[in-house]
């Protein structure tokens, strides 16, 4: 069983390794930073970018002082005792302390949420490369507080122009129908045209305040001077060793000279990534879509022999595919839920629709009466009926998503709009299928018209999420991913390339010959489950009112479940940002298994779970229970009231290595 550990002390907004410190004020004009770690000091009067410990002291991120959240420790199941963090006007919540500090530094300098997102993403690509990076893709919601508008940005990777419907299952449609070597994921076929660089560039161009070139300093300094390998990265290196060693650059970076994986706490330097970021700072995202780095990306995708001499099936991505890529502006999926509006990302991610469907179904039940009992700092003990209703609603939502949702530039939704899947009348009919006394096990997709589509229940993996609010009230909720841990295992210029094309259905049709919506097509973007989410209060006239909440999570195909439990936790059960982020992970895809995260301290998995009344109660309703440890990474920011003032309240998932920072105070 994974160890449950206590939370660290609070921290100050600064980034450091054994060799450097990057302060909240950022680097000086020439981009240099001190090379000697600083020690904790008395906090500033406004406590900007600091979280105060109970004794009033602060700890610099990366200073190696007691309580430093960047201190490397094994990847563990759950940090008990985390408290909600309060900030006056700006806040950043990520699953990595270095990334939170970099984003907070930008906010303190007056940067917008879009500016901070660039700094956060650049650091995440260094410190959590197993989950995200410049070779990945993702989705971002942006709320413009002055205009009171919310926009959805699609930075999902795309299939090359030369891809066929059999791209993932045949070496060649005409001459070689054997599987790609060594398998689809570890071959060049899994690598989609990268999206994150264009994504963060577009959002920053449209909503940034600071100079683009000044947003990479913290990540460049950390790359150059080094950072200690954390628990999740150390675990990812060791568990993926065989595949990583097929790539010479990954081998040189992640392994010692004797071939052993670089271990927890090892100072890891990445000058190649520093060079990539320096090129991006000077040239914009073009640095990765044109020129030498782009040439290296194409060469890596097209490689035919691994470092060990075994064959690798090349991908068919070209420089033209890279040059043609664009991050797309799309209309978010927004639905009402009780006194709120919930907004999510639209296709090609299914996350927004799946979350909205589950919540719309749950709106038909008195969820407030099913709140955890008792409630504690970790979110409390969920009730049997609370978990049952949520899980059944998710089964119904996943059933529809598995059949109907794909890249709408290629396969339109039923009726040409997500409203067909989410209107109140249809949602009421789906809710009526829930039996409070018995689980449905596997749900059937709704009949949404003559759409002859096969069902694909492919579940993705990986990802990372961050939430940001700036001093002007602008908000970012972003989820980015390389897909599976360490992506495709192909590395170039200091970053890993994704394996997102394996999120397509490898088979273009089902057993009856019906086309699968999420099949491979040239230029198409694979279906995702990423679900960056925002919540707004309903105005008096029923329109979208004030911002209330930003949240989201990594977790691949289970992302909608992690987001739904967080939304229900806040909107129905009155949990704070930390309680909702730490709440037991529970839910279901469209199969008979209901997950109850056994890493949580409020779940008793002894004796096969038979000592826990939640587990036995669900089994009595026909649920098959899995208590496998969950790896959600929920990062939540709420707008709330304290002492009559509007403030921010943040929480980060205890299952990861995150921290919440801002111009904090103790209420």
The CA R_g of the chain, rounded to the nearest whole Å, is 23
pLDDT band (50, 70, 90) for residue 425 = very high
Angle ∠(7,12,17) on CA atoms, nearest 5: 85
Quote the pLDDT of residue 19: 30
pLDDT band (50, 70, 90) for residue 511 = confident
- What is the Cα–Cα distance from 496 to 300, expressed in whole angstroms? 10
Report percent pLDDT > 90 for the chain: 81
Q: Which pair of tokens denotes residue 133?
A: 């990076």
Catalytic residue among 463, 551, 627, 664: 463
Residue 571 pLDDT > 90: yes
Sign of CA dihedral 538, 544, 547, 550: positive
Quote the pLDDT of residue 46: 53
More confident residue, 67 or 134: 134
More confident residue, 238 or 450: 238
- What is the Cα–Cα distance from 388 to 587, expressed in whole angstroms? 8
Which ranges in 302-383 belong to alpha helices (H)?
A: 319-324, 351-362
Q: Which pair of tokens denotes residue 173?
A: 């449609």
pLDDT band (50, 70, 90) for residue 643 = confident
Quote the pLDDT of residue 92: 98
Quote the pLDDT of residue 77: 80
3 state SS for 205-226: HHHCCCCHHHCCHHHHHHHHHC
Closest CA to 108 of 184, 15, 17, 197: 15
Report percent pLDDT > 70 for the chain: 87
For the chain, give me the number of helices (H) and strands (E)? 18, 24
In this structure, the dihedral spanned by the alpha carbons of residues 345, 348, 351 and 355, taken in order and rounded to 10 degrees, is 70
Does this model's pTM top 0.95? no
pLDDT in tens, 4-25: 444 443 344 433 333 333 333 3
Q: Is-contact 43 233, C-beta < 8 A?
A: no
Q: Is-contact 532 345, C-beta < 8 A?
A: yes
Q: Is 80 among the residues known to form the active site? A: no
Residue 37 pLDDT > 90: no
pLDDT band (50, 70, 90) for residue 631 = confident
In this structure, the dihedral spanned by the alpha carbons of residues 209, 349, 159 and 480, taken in order and rounded to 10 degrees, is 50
pLDDT in tens, 260-315: 999 999 999 999 999 999 999 999 999 999 999 999 999 999 999 999 999 999 99
Q: Which pair of tokens denotes residue 114?
A: 């879009």
Q: Is-contact 637 93, C-beta < 8 A?
A: yes
Closest CA to 248 of 201, 300, 283, 318: 300
């Amino acid at each position: 069983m994974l160890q449950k550990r206590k939370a660290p002390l609070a921290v100050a907004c600064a980034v450091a390794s054994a060799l450097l410190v990057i302060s909240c004020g950022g680097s000086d004009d020439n981009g240099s930073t001190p090379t000697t770690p600083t020690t904790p000091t008395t906090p500033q009067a406004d406590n900007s970018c600091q979280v105060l410990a109970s004794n009033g002291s602060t700890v610099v991120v990366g200073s190696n002082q007691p309580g430093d959240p960047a201190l490397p420790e094994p990847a563990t199941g759950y940090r008990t005792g985390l408290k909600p963090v309060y900030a006056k006007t700006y806040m950043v919540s990520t699953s990595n302390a270095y990334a939170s500090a970099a984003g907070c530094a930008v906010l303190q300098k007056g940067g917008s949420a879009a500016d901070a997102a660039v700094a956060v993403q650049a650091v995440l690509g260094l410190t959590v490369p197993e989950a995200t990076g410049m070779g990945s893709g993702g989705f971002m919601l942006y709320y413009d507080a002055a205009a009171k508008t919310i926009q959805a940005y699609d930075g999902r990777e795309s299939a090359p122009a030369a891809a066929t419907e059999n791209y993932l299952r045949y070496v060649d449609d005409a001459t070689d129908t054997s599987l790609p070597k060594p398998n689809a994921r570890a071959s060049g076929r899994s690598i989609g045209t990268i999206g994150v660089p264009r994504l963060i560039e577009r959002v920053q161009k449209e909503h940034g305040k600071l100079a683009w070139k000044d947003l990479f300093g913290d990540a460049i300094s950390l790359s150059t001077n080094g950072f200690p390998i954390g628990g999740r990265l150390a675990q990812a290196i060791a568990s993926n060793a065989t595949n990583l060693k097929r790539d010479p650059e990954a081998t040189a970076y992640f392994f010692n000279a004797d071939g052993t994986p670089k271990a927890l706490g090892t100072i890891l330097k990445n000058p190649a990534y520093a060079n990539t970021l320096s090129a991006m700072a000077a040239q914009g995202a073009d640095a990765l879509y044109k020129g030498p780095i782009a040439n290296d990306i194409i060469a890596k995708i097209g490689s035919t022999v691994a470092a060990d001499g075994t064959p690798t099936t090349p991908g068919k991505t070209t420089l033209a595919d890279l040059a043609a890529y664009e991050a797309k502006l799309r209309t978010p999926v927004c639905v009402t839920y009780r006194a709120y509006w919930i907004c999510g990302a639209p296709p090609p991610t299914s996350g927004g629709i799946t979350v909205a469907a589950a919540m719309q179904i749950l709106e038909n039940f008195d969820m407030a009466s099913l709140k955890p009992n008792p409630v504690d700092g970790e979110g409390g003990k969920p009730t049997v009926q609370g978990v049952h209703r949520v899980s059944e609603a998710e089964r119904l939502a996943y059933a529809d998503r598995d059949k109907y949702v794909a890249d709408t530039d290629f396969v339109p939704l039923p009726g040409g709009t997500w409203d067909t899947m989410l209107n109140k009348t249809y949602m009421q009919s789906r809710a009526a299928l829930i039996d409070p006394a018995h689980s449905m096990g596997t749900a059937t997709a709704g009949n949404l018209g003559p759409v002859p589509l096969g069902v694909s229940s492919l579940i993705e993996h990986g990802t990372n999420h961050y939430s940001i609010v700036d001093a002007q009230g602008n908000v970012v909720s972003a989820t980015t991913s390389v897909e599976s841990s360490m992506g495709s295992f192909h590395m170039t210029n200091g970053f890993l390339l994704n394996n997102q094309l394996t999120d397509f259905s490898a088979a273009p049709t089902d057993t009856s010959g019906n086309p699968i919506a999420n099949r491979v097509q040239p230029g198409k973007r694979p279906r995702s489950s990423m679900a960056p989410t925002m919540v707004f209060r309903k105005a008096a006239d029923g329109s979208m009112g004030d911002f209330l909440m930003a949240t989201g999570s990594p977790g691949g195909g289970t992302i909608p479940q992690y987001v739904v439990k967080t939304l229900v936790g806040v909107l129905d059960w009155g949990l704070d940002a930390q309680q909702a982020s730490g709440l037991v992970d529970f839910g279901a895809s469209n199969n008979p298994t209901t997950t109850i995260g056994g890493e949580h301290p409020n779940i008793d998995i002894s004796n096969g779970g038979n000592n826990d009344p939640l587990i036995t109660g669900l089994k009595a309703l026909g649920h098959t229970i899995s208590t496998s440890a969950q790896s959600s990474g929920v990062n939540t920011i709420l707008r709330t009231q304290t002492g009559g003032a509007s403030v921010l309240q943040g929480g980060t998932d205890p299952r990861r290595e995150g921290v919440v920072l801002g111009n904090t105070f103790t209420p």
